[in-house]
Structure 1
């Protein structure tokens, strides 16, 4: 069956795209990031909630703070990346729901009134948005290096001291350098290994 995307787009977004570990020094512009966000904001979420928050780490001072919270293996590549984004969930996302879901005006005060519900539902939906964010980076012709090797409590206290946000992943972004990839792509499960029909 033919996919709607042509082969080049399939390669760009999926088959040839890999997690980058090294980048050129070409900067990632504000216009590029805005174009990425304006594309990926259409990711599917329950109740049209928009819990993902993106913190662009551009200043040397903020970069140094972030690097201090990363595992040793992630520090050098993050220090050298043209741009790093902290993708986080906003546990107070429900405050925007009357505007995003105007036909269910009391949603924020009923279903999302309790913080544990917001944390669970918000984290799941923000993670969906984060996946789309990585695809958006690829669609811009850039490479993404998402990481979870960090001290989450440290990042949350340092970058989100008010306590309403929680880091989901840290993503290095830029043009891949020649040595950006591991020598071989790691295997993936086949269709028959991952898909069943009931």
Structure 2
């Protein structure tokens, strides 16, 4: 008996699977159509339900819209990413708040005492911040796609410089930049290979 196509085994309908994963690509060029605040609020309202350890929610998002804000960022962006970042309708600076523990009693009432433990463990606190913010960045990327927008995530930048420029308080660690907008006609590069199931998954 022939097995059903993989897409038929998922609860999400095939069109949504394509929108979020199969046909979604990292965009390098965008149209000049703006990304408005209502779209960003809708994205946040969806992805904020993704799980994080202890409900920490350490991701902080800085949206750069104005030319002045973009000009402050560009000196810290690698030469290969600078032109597309300057031209994108919106740039999100995605950072981890390493003092996330201060809100533990509010966000996770049953672990209120853990705040004091993390207060005395700055290395462990930062490790948790980075891990959980990275999870949230994944949710955010899928949320951008769910809004019918394209994302261009980038790691080619100077994190310490961006932190000094936008978060001089020292309590944030910048993890990723993400250009957001409607993809232009030439937005995509050829898709690179993906690992197969046997290359990734092992069963004991």
Q: TM-score range with shorter-chain normalisation?
A: over 0.9
SS at match of 1:110: helix
Distance 1:151 1:185 in 2: 27
Look up the match of 2:166: 159
Q: Tell me the equivalent position of 2:150.
A: 143
Superposed CA deviations along residues 72-130 of structure 1, whole A, max 9, x for unmatched, are 01001000000000000000111111001112221111245311111001100000000
1:186 aligns with 2:186: no
Residue 195 (structure 1) aligns with: 201
Distance 1:95 1:50 in 2: 12
In the superposition, the TM-score normalised over structure 1's length comes to 0.97
Aligned residue among 7, 20, 24 for 2:14: 7
Does 1:79 find its partner at 2:79? no
1:38 aligns with 2:45: yes
1:95 aligns with 2:102: yes
- Deviation digits for residues 34-67 of structure 1 (CA, Å, limit 9, x no counterpart): 1001111111111110100000011211101111
SS at match of 1:161: coil
CA contact (8 A) 2:46 2:143 kept: yes
Structure that is richer in helix per residue: 2
Unaligned runs of 5+ in 1: none
Q: Secondary structure at the match of 1:68?
A: helix
Please tell me whether residue 18 in structure 1 is matched to residue 21 in structure 2. Answer: no
Q: Does 1:109 align with 2:116?
A: yes
Query: Within the alignment, does 1:56 sit opposite 2:50 as a pair?
Result: no
Answer yes or no: is 1:172 the counterpart of 2:198: no
CA distance in 2, matches of 1:10, 1:40: 16
Number of corresponding residues: 197
CA distance, structure 1, for counterparts of residue 77 and residue 117 of structure 2: 38
Q: Using the alignment, how far apart are the partners of 2:146 and 2:61 within structure 1?
A: 18
Aligned to 2:76: 69
Instruction: Name the SS for the 1:162 alignment partner.
Output: coil
Cα RMSD, aligned residues only: 0.9
Contact 2:101 2:118 in 1 (8 A): no
